[in-house]
Structure 1
């Protein structure tokens, strides 16, 4: 008798073991599906957040430009007021 025939006889797979293996495979498939769905949702969320970030960055640049412009205007007005105050001081002195 060959050793292969003896090994087959010694390793019978019980129906319960096969059912358990089948259930594990099914659970693994379900987990894989759930993880793929979660990954797709995360990627979509990431893309949405990236768009929002890009928009905010553009808005920030515009706001910074406006602040610089307003600061320059404020400096010009300050200089004019100082000149006027100096002229008023000269008149009253």
Structure 2
């Protein structure tokens, strides 16, 4: 009889370990799914910010070109004014 009690106790201890292991695996899967979801959201945000950054860089380049064109035109007008005086 004592062997049956020990076996039952051992079985119960093993059952508890399995249940704890299952719970740990479940929590880890949930954590992994949450992390993967967060990574996907962050990648999407990064893609959007990269696109915005590229658009702003293009605008800055265009503005620099326009400024240079205006500067050259103003210099030319000033030279023409100097010739008149």
Q: Indicate whether the TM-score tops 0.5.
A: yes
The bucket for the TM-score relative to the shorter chain is 0.7 to 0.9
**Bigger fraction of residues in helix:** 2
Question: Is the radius of gyration larger for structure 1 or structure 2?
Answer: 1
Shift of 1:17: 2.0
In 1, distance between residues paired with 2:82 and 2:19?
A: 92
**Stretches (4+) displaced over 6 A:** none
Report the 3-state secondary structure (helix = DSSP H, G, I; strand = E; otherwise coil) of the residue aligned with 1:75: helix
Shift of 1:19: 1.7
TM-score for the superposition, normalised by structure 2: 0.83
TM-score for the superposition, normalised by structure 1: 0.77
Total equivalences in the alignment: 81
- The runs of 5 or more residues in structure 1 that have no matched partner are 1-11
Aligned counterparts, 1:25-64, within 5 A: 25-64=18-57
Shift of 1:87: 2.1
Match among 59, 62, 67 for residue 74 of structure 1: 67
In 2, distance between residues paired with 1:84 and 1:17?
A: 98
- The runs of 5 or more residues in structure 2 that have no matched partner are none
Report the 3-state secondary structure (helix = DSSP H, G, I; strand = E; otherwise coil) of the residue aligned with 1:32: helix
